[in-house]
Amino acid sequence: MIRTIEWTDSGVVMLDQRLLPTQEIYNCYTEYQGVAEAIRSMVIRGAPAIGVAAAMGIALGVKISPAKSVEELDTHFAEICQLIAGTRPTAVNLFWAVERMRKAYDRTRSLGVAPVREALIREALGMQEEDVRANRAMGRFGQALLSGNARILTHCNAGSLATAGYGTALGVIRAAVEAGKQVQVFADETRPFLQGARLTAWELQKDHIPVTVITDNMAGHFMQKGEIDCVIVGADRIAANGDVANKIGTYSVAVLAKEHGLPFYVAAPISTLDLSIPDGSHIPIEHRDPNEVRSFQGVAVTPLGANVANPAFDVTPNRYVSAIITDRGVARPPYTESLRAVAEYQEPASNRP
Ligand code: MRU
């Protein structure tokens, strides 16, 4: 399994996803500011992976903090959390992770600086393991929805690279393959960062799962020709009513899927639910540097100075979403009830690892 992020004694090691598929370079970050910049610049990306990186960045900042007392550490901890939380606005996993680290801090603060440091490292590592477990659970629930020879369209990268391992949407696909199904994947290239062409194709190829890359404007054509059976995507934030923020272009795919009567599935762990907001209009949409659209790998693709818009995410209204595959089961409309039920569901202690 591809490991996109690791905690090591020397620092936080991440696979630089900006360079894939041509170069496989691992960077070691020894300061939390470096981890924050890696999240911002998309060395690491994908909602669950951003959450784990945020947790490890905070653990690293606290580990190397010069603070001698918890009072000094309080100030430093607040600065670290603020920097990490300011990196990317849409994926709620980032804020969920910061919140979990804050709770772990508060639980151990009275014990002193050293126990806080240990507790935060433990919490970050625990979140990494939990994410892989959640992805495997989503895989089990989600693969049951797929036929034995499903032709699946996915958008962006919701795979091992976007998580602590295995993937959400690609986890469902991996689980289908493990169950003996002969699935085929269409990967939208996903302009402008090309997560589909560069990352999804790269990791599926590594696993020998048949994948065909298409440009974003080809999806309708293949649906019309009857060559796609369903769509599975990940999510960056899901509102209480089931509106889904995901990579820009997801909404268009969902509308196309409905027009062609194809199921549109979203696979996301509980950490991607934001039940504090009633609907998708409250989800902050990140707007990235226009130069990501103006050029590709240093080569201009627009005239100099062209006006460019670069929203990184869009919101798919719940009416387009056939089901939301979570690590605690499959939620169906009406989502206001079903998402609350999965969020509140407590696994029997006997089932926990
Ligand atoms: O800008 P990115 O690459 O971080 O966007 C990633 C996506 O939109 C993914 O589909 C989403 O985070 C789910 S990843 C399991």
User: pLDDT tens track of the chain, all 353 residues?
Assistant: 788 999 999 999 999 999 999 999 999 999 999 999 999 999 999 999 999 999 999 999 999 999 999 999 999 999 999 999 999 999 999 999 999 999 999 999 999 999 999 999 999 999 999 999 999 999 999 999 999 999 999 999 999 999 999 999 999 999 999 999 999 999 999 999 999 999 999 999 999 999 999 999 999 999 999 999 999 999 999 999 999 999 999 999 999 999 999 999 999 999 999 999 999 999 999 999 999 999 988 899 999 989 999 999 999 999 999 999 999 999 999 999 999 999 998 776 665 55
Any atom of ligand 1 within 6 Å of the Cβ of 314:
no
Q: How many angstroms separate the alpha carbon of residue 248 from the centre of ligand 1? A: 10
Q: What is the pTM of this model?
A: 0.96
**Marked catalytic residue, from 236, 243, 274, 314:** 236
Side-chain half-sphere exposure of 350, counting CA atoms within 13 A: 0
Please indicate whether residue 46, judged by its CB atom, sits closer than 6 Å to ligand 1.
yes
CA distance 98 to 78: 10
Compute the half-sphere exposure of residue 10: CA atoms within 13 Å on the CB side of its CA: 6
CA angle 81, 326, 324 (to 5 degrees): 110
∠ Cα 157 334 160 (to 5°): 15
- Do 285 and 312 form a contact (C-beta atoms < 8 A)? yes
Q: Is the C-beta atom of 45 inside 6 A of ligand 1?
A: yes
Angle between helices 47-63 and 92-108 (to 10 degrees): 30
* Residue 187 near ligand 1, beta carbon < 6 Å: no
Cα 58 from Cα 35, distance rounded (Å): 9
- Give the H or E element holding residue 291: helix 291-294
Distance from Cα 49 to the centre of ligand 1, integer Å: 9
Ligand 1 centroid from CA 286, angstroms: 12
How many Å lie between the centroid of ligand 1 and the Cα of residue 37?
17
Give 325's strand partners: 267, 330
Question: Is there a catalytic annotation at residue 229?
Answer: no
Q: Which domains are delineated in the chain?
A: 5-135 (1.20.120.420), 145-351 (3.40.50.10470)
Residues 142, 156: Cα–Cα separation, whole Å: 18
